Chains A and B, each alone.
Chain A
Amino acid sequence: MGRIRQHQALEERLLFERSSPGKIGYQLPALDVPPVDPERALGSVHVREEIPGFPEVSEVEVIRHFTRLSSWNYAIDSGMYPLGSCTMKYNPRLNEAVARIDGIIDAHPYQPECLAQGMLEIQRTLEAYLAEICGMDAVTLQPAAGAHGELTGLLLIRAYLESRGDARRVVLIPDSAHGTNPATASIAGYEVVEIPSNRLGMIDLATLRDAVDDSVAALMVTNPNTVGIFEQDIAEVAAALHERGAQLYMDGANMNALVGIARPGDFGVDVMHLNLHKTFSTPHGGGGPGAGPVAVKRHLEPHLPLPRIRAAESGLSFDWDRPASIGRVRAFYGNFGVLVRALAYILAHGGDGLRNATVDAVLNANYIRKGLEGRYELPYEAPSMHECIFSDSRQAKHGVKTGDIAKRLIDYGFHPYTVSFPLIVRGALMIEPTETESKHELDEFIAAMRSIAEEAERDPDLIRRSPVTTRTSRVDETRAARKPILKWQSAGQE
C-alpha cells in the first residue's frame, strides 16, 4: 500500500527502567579548587537526600534510547505534513548550523552592549525585514510563541486605547478563529463576543458593522481565514472598525499565503503577530520553541515591550526609557536562537524567493483541492489560498469520520491533515501542503486520499480500525484522561 513497507522498530523501555545504580554517562573535570562541604556551606536543613527514582544510565544507552524513540516519530524529514494552519515546511539545516556558531549561541543576555553588537544587528535586521514583509512600521521580536504574540498585541491595543482615555471591554472574534484568540482575549482582560461567519465562510460586513460599538476595542481576524479564504472585505472591515475607534488585530498564522503578494499594513491592519515557526521555517521541534514577533503601525509603536533597539553613531544599544511601554512580556529579548534561524531563512530566499515560495504554497494547495474535488465535499466554493478545506459529509454516510480518514492516511505514509477544525465546518479536513512539497509528493498524497475515499465506501471498518501498519495501534485517549498517569512510578511506589 502506498509507500509503506515494514521496517525495523525496536522496543525501548523508559530511562527509569534501564537504570542501574552506579551507571554513568558523564565525567566532570577534576575539581581545581578545594571542595566545599554542602552541609557546612548551606546548612544541613537545605541539603537534599538523593533524588528518588532518578535514572542512572550510560552514554551509549542514552544514544540508543533516544534514537529508538526518534524512530517512532513522523517528521517533515520523513514526508509531507499537511497540517492546515500549521505550515509545516522544510526546516533548512543551514539555519541549525548558524544558530550554533560560537559567539552567538553562548552570548549572555547581560554581556556588555559593546560585546553584543552582532546580536543587536541580527535583531535589528530581522525587525526591518519583517516590517517590510507585513507593511507595518515597527516590530518587536520578544514574544515566545504565536499565542504570546497575540497577548502582546492585545496589550498594545489596550495601552493605546487607555492612553486616549478610552478603555474598552470587548474583543470581537469570528467563529472560525483559532482557540488561542478567545483564550488570549480573556487573559488580556477582555470580554469575547463571537461573530458568525457568512455562508461564504467570511466575515459578513453588515453583521460586523452591527457588532462594532464604542465598547469594542478590537477585532481579531485571521487572513486568509481558517477556511483558507482571503477575507474579501478586509479593507471595509478595517474602515468600519476605525470609524468607531476600534483596532484591527491580525493573527498571522496564515501569512504563508501572503508574503510578497499582499501586505496586512496595506489593508488596514493595526497590529499583527507572525509565527516564525510557520511562515519562516524554524523547526517545530515536537511543539516548540517558536517565536511570535508582533508588527504594529506607528500609533502603537510607543507602547511596544521593553527594551527597544536604538541605533546611534556609537553603535546599537537597548532603549529602556519608554514610559508608554506595556512593560516586559518575558525576560531578556525573545527566543533569540529562533530569530537567527528565521533571518537565515529570509536571507536564503531574498525578496523574490519569498514571493516565489508563496506562489508555490498557494499553487500546491489548489492542486490538491483540484485533485480531491468530487471525492470529498467542498464546503466553500471561494478560491483557496495556501490551504484547502473539505468536509467528511460524503464519507460520514458510511460511518467514516474525518478523524478516521486521518488515521488511515497514516497507513499510506503521510501525517494527517488538521482534523475537525475550523469548528464552523462539520467534520473538517484542513489541508496545507506548503511550498516545500514536490509535485511527486503531492500526487502521492492525492492518490492516497482518493484511495481512502474508495475504501470508505467499500470497507469502512478497515478505516475505523486504522492505523494498521504503525508500531503503535490506535491510542486510547479516553483512558488516559479518566485516570491520569502523568509520571513514571516504580512498581512499589503506586
Chain B
Amino acid sequence: MRYLPKSPAEREAMFAELGLASEEDLFASIPAGLRQQEPLSIPPGQSEYEIRDYFEARARDAARGYACFLGAGAYHHYRPVVIDSVATRGEFLTAYTPYQAEISQGVLTTIFEFQTMVAQLTGMDVANASMYDGSTAVPEAAMMAARVTRRNRLLVARSLHPEYRQVMDTYDRYQGLPAETVAYDPQTGQLDLEDLDARLSSDVAAVLVQSPNFFGIVEPVREAAELAHKHGALLVVIFSEAASLGLLQPPEEADIVAGEFQSFAHPPSFGGPYVGILATKAKHLRQMPGRLVGETLDADGRRAFCLTLSTREQHIRRAKATSNICTNQALVALMATVYMALLGKRGLRELAEQNLSKAHFLAGALRSAGAELPFSGPFFNEFAVRPAGGSAGDVNDLALERKIIGGLDLGRFYPELAGALLVCATETAKREQIEGYADCFREAADG
C-alpha cells in the first residue's frame, strides 16, 4: 500500500522489538469472538490512474459544459486560481485546529483576518471563526438568541431558505424552541410586517429574516428590527448569497447575523463543503458558539494570535457549552479570505453590481419572452418568474436539450408558487446564454 511508509524488514523489526509473533498478537485485547473473521468486502486497492478514471467517469455522468441559472443557496461565481494555489499548500491543507499557537500562527492570522472582514461586511462588532454552513448557522443563532433573551419562541420568515427552516426545525424540536412562520407579502415578496407585528409578544426570543430572501428580494431589515426590538426580541438576519454584501446596506440593526459564504469560497460542489458565518454585537459575545481567534502577545512582546474565550466551548464546559460545535470550516474560510483579499473593497462592489446587472438583464429578457415576475420587491441576483403559457417544466425541459440548466421550480417548497421558477444570474452568466434561456421561455409559450 503506497501510503504506508514501512519496508517489510522494518515492520518485522518493530514486531520483534515488541516481542510479538504475529499481527493477531497486536489485537489480543479484543476478545476473539468480537474480531472480524471475513475480510472486508471491498475490492483490492487501485492505482492513482484507475481512481482518476473512476471519478472522471462519474463526472461525465453529470452536467459538464452546461450553462446554469440555479441559485437558491448555492451560487456559481468565478474563482481566481490564486485561491487554490493558497488552499492546496500543505502548510494550510494538512494542519490541525490551531491549539498550539506557537506553530499555528499562519492559520490563526488568517482566521483573525476572516473574522475582521466578516465583521466589516456585516456591520457587526465580532464574528466567529466560521460555522459548518449557512443552514446550520441558523439554529445556532436561534439557540444563541434564546440564551441571550431567556425566551423561547421563534418567529421565522417564510421567505427564509426552506432547507434552512427544515434544519432549524430538526434542531429546535428538542430544545423547547417553538417556531412560527411569518408570511411574505404576496405582492412584494417581502416580509409581511403586519403579520410579524401581530405575532410578536414578550415571549419571542428572535425574529429570523433572510435578506436577500429565498426569492432574491431585499427585505426591510430596519423595519423588522424596530418591530422585534419593541418587544424585546432579537433580530437575526440571514443571507445565503454573500455577494450581495458588496452592495447592500449591512444589517447593522440586527443583533445576530448568520449566513453562507460559499459564494466567496467554494464552487457549488453538490452542496458542500461550504462555510457558515456568525457575527453579533459585542454585548452578546459570551453567548456566541464556535471558535474565536484573539490578538495577544508572545513572551517576547510581539503580536501573536490564539484561540480564545474557549470557556464557552464543549471541550471545557461539556454539557453546559454554548454549542456542541467543535471545529469550524477553516480551509473554506481561508479560501473566502483569499477571495476577499483579491477582490478587495472595489472588487466586491463591482462583482455585486455585475450580478445585479446580469439578473436585471435576465429579468428583462424573460419579460420580453412573455413571462411575469410575481413579486415587485427589489431583487439582487435572483428572482421568481412565471412563464407565459407553457409550464415551468416545459421551459426547463427545452433548456436542457440546449445544455442549459434552468431555474428551480418553486412549487417544490411553496405550493402557491407552483409553476414559477427561481432563476439566478451571476457575473458568470454570459449574454448569449441569458438570451438562449429567454428563447426557451418564448418557444415554450408558443407551444
Residues of B near A98 (CB, < 8 A) are 51-52, 55
A115-B405, A367-B17 given as contacts; is B96 within 8 A of A23 (CB)?
no
CB of B387 within 8 A of chain A? no
Residue of B nearest to A11 (CB): B302
Q: Which residues in chain B, 44-82, are within 8 Å of chain A measured between CB atoms?
A: 44-46, 48, 50-52, 54-64, 66, 68, 70, 72-74, 76, 78, 80, 82
**CB-based contact B113/A488 at 8 Å:** yes
A24-B346, A285-B330, A356-B4 given as contacts; is B26 within 8 A of A366 (CB)?
yes
Contact count band on B:
35 or more
CA distance A150 to B285 in the complex (A): 26
CB of B259 within 8 A of chain A? no
CB of B181 within 8 A of chain A? no
Interface bits B420-441 vs A (CB < 8 Å: 1, else 0): 0000000100110010000000
Q: Which residues in chain A, 395-436, are within 8 Å of chain B measured between CB atoms?
A: 406-407, 410, 415-416, 421, 435-436
Please tell me which stretch of A43-51, A205-213, A448-456 contacts chain B, meaning at least 4 of its Cβ atoms lie within 8 angstroms of it: A43-51
CA distance A421 to B326 in the complex (A): 15
CA distance A232 to B28 in the complex (A): 11
Residue with the greatest number of chain A CB neighbours at <10 A, chosen from B55, B109, B294, B378: B55
Residues of A near B13 (CB, < 8 A) are 439
Query: Which of A73, A407, A421 is in CB contact (< 8 Å) with B92?
Result: A73
CB of A245 within 8 A of chain B? no
**CB-based contact B331/A151 at 8 Å:** no
CB of A462 within 8 A of chain B? no
**CB-based contact B324/A355 at 8 Å:** no
CB of B134 within 8 A of chain A? yes
Residue of A nearest to B430 (CB): A32
CB of A62 within 8 A of chain B? yes
A interface SS class: loop
Query: Which of A158, A192, A436, A484 is in CB contact (< 8 Å) with B285?
Result: A484
A90-B3, A287-B129 given as contacts; is B35 within 8 A of A261 (CB)?
yes
Residues of A near B319 (CB, < 8 A) are 182-183, 185-186, 192
CB of A41 within 8 A of chain B? yes
Query: Which of A34, A144, A186 is in CB contact (< 8 Å) with B133?
Result: A144
CB of A83 within 8 A of chain B? yes
**CB-based contact A112/B405 at 8 Å:** yes
Contact count band on A:
35 or more
**CB-based contact B59/A118 at 8 Å:** yes
Residues of B near A119 (CB, < 8 A) are 58, 62, 270
Residues of B near A7 (CB, < 8 A) are none
Interface bits A54-97 vs B (CB < 8 Å: 1, else 0): 11110100110111011111111110010100101011101011
Residues of A near B1 (CB, < 8 A) are 348-349, 353, 356-357
CB of B97 within 8 A of chain A? yes
**CB-based contact B96/A88 at 8 Å:** yes
**CB-based contact B94/A439 at 8 Å:** no
Query: Which of A348, A362, A477 is in CB contact (< 8 Å) with B3?
Result: A348
Query: Which of A71, A158, A185, A488 is in CB contact (< 8 Å) with B91?
Result: A71
Residues of A near B133 (CB, < 8 A) are 144, 330-331
CB of A52 within 8 A of chain B? yes
A186-B319, A287-B330, A475-B304 given as contacts; is B270 within 8 A of A104 (CB)?
yes
Shortest distance between the CB of A78 and any CB in chain B (Å): 7
CA distance A149 to B3 in the complex (A): 27
CA distance A435 to B70 in the complex (A): 43
Shortest distance between the CB of A396 and any CB in chain B (Å): 20
Residue of B nearest to A159 (CB): B173
Residues of B near A72 (CB, < 8 A) are 103-106, 109
Interchain residue pairs with CB less than 8 A apart (18): A12-B109, A55-B345, A94-B48, A97-B52, A115-B400, A117-B61, A285-B92, A286-B96, A291-B273, A332-B163, A332-B271, A337-B272, A338-B273, A348-B2, A370-B17, A475-B298, A477-B308, A486-B292
Given contacts A337-B269, A480-B305, 20 further A-B contacts (CB under 8 A): A48-B247, A63-B85, A66-B86, A71-B106, A72-B105, A101-B56, A102-B59, A108-B268, A109-B268, A129-B42, A133-B42, A179-B315, A180-B326, A183-B318, A262-B30, A305-B170, A336-B273, A474-B299, A486-B292, A486-B308
